[in-house]
Structure 1
Amino acid sequence: MRNIKLTIEYDGKRYLGWQRLGDSDNTIQGKIEGVLTQLTGEKIEIIGSGRTDAGAHARGQVANFKTETTMEREKMLDFMNRYLPQDIIIKKVEDVPERFHARYNTTGKKYSYYVWNDAIPSAFERYYSLHYPQPLDIDKMNQACSLLVGSHDFLGFSSLKKMKKSTVRTIDELSIQREGSLLHFTFVGDGFLYNMVRIIMGTLLEIGAGTMEVSAIEEIFKNRIRQHAGETAPSHGLFLDEVYYR
């Protein structure tokens, strides 16, 4: 039995997210499993490093699956990229140890979020960044970023309904780069709660626009109430860039 690791890139705008759904095959996981089942002649189920929301994108999603096939990796790569939709690309196929698990073995992830900060929208960036026409105070947003870096209880920055496990996470990097009208936010951390990046983004934008104070960050950490944070930013500006393993 082989254990195969896939590195995957996709444009999520046509899909209902990563996770397979019982009433629809219009998911990233569903599309890949369908092609792998065709390739191997086996009923294949893949394990992703985590879910991405409907409309979100990935440059470096990781998944693994078990198979009896003896097909060479290069042929598997060619087959999948030939039969998958053009907006889902397999970048790499690797044989990995039997115990490798794409979700349980992760040590961290890197995300990007893009904002088109201009009164005039962009015809080209509209599917891959949030159009935010209001002026933004980047200095205040950077102050807020510095408060978010480190180990904190991020429950107030998540859409979690249940709290069976710890909601403490560590953000190692949260930075902002501007290229003309395009703002690129980089998030690197050991893990992210449900909607955590998008809620932090909504909060940062409210701080930048002046409708929320920088001090609100500490208050949200203290009271852990989701409603005190900003709105959840739309998914189409979000990219999963990389998944880290030991």
Structure 2
Amino acid sequence: MYETIELTKQGRIGQLVLNRPKSMNAMNGTMMKELADCFESLLQDSTIQVLIIRGEGRAFSAGGDIKEMMDPENPMDIELVMKDVSRLAKALYTLPQITIAAIHGASAGLGFSIALACDHVIAEENSKLAMNFIGIGLVPDGGGHFFMKERVGVPKAQQIIWEGQTLKAHDALAKGLIDEVTAEGRGLKQAESYATEAVESPVSAKLASKHILHQVKVDELEKVLEMEAAAQSAMRKSADHLEGIQAFVEKRKPEFKGE
């Protein structure tokens, strides 16, 4: 059914796998569209009450696929991509399931926005977590501003976005960005045990509380997504972004000019 992701169900627990392991689950146009479609289909799925999201291979997700962004022959249609990114973020935030992100390896850029959108975020201790759009002259998307602000408040969110640093799991936990740290190789096991506990608890009441808390924020999330899409579109045309991408490809330090 899907090319780049895989959805499986076992009883009342679902598992969504980001499945482009050779690209460290970097998100190309197809994956963003498939994630949006999959999350939207889960909005109507009352058979699953808990959803685990994880990455196949060495990483959760390295973020947007820079190779595809740079492809001169078949460039990404940014307007279309931003629509899918907004669809996936809104659907993920409003899912009628308890969502758990099980992170190993890298969770960066849009990959980190998706993790932060989940109700419970578990990261293995050596995982690398980064809201690193700033490094290539871009702004967070996928609701990154909203999800980060919800977790840590505006001043801290702004600081983390501006710094664009790569955090180890324990640093991210100390900042309040994630909920739990496990030993290497234990992330998925921990997510599965959290999921099992959740379905054995009064999960309908938990989901009702989630619905109340999230529903009142949906308008705000929609506004943020709209502004992110506009800002991203503008930033992609900036000299700083082109320099950031060029430096990334050439593996050198970028020289930004604020243009």
Pairwise TM-score range, normalised by the shorter structure: under 0.3
How high is the TM-score relative to the length of structure 2? 0.22
For the pair shown, which has the larger CA radius of gyration, 1 or 2? 1
Query: Which structure shows the higher strand fraction?
Result: 1
Query: Which structure shows the higher helix fraction?
Result: 2
How high is the TM-score relative to the length of structure 1? 0.22
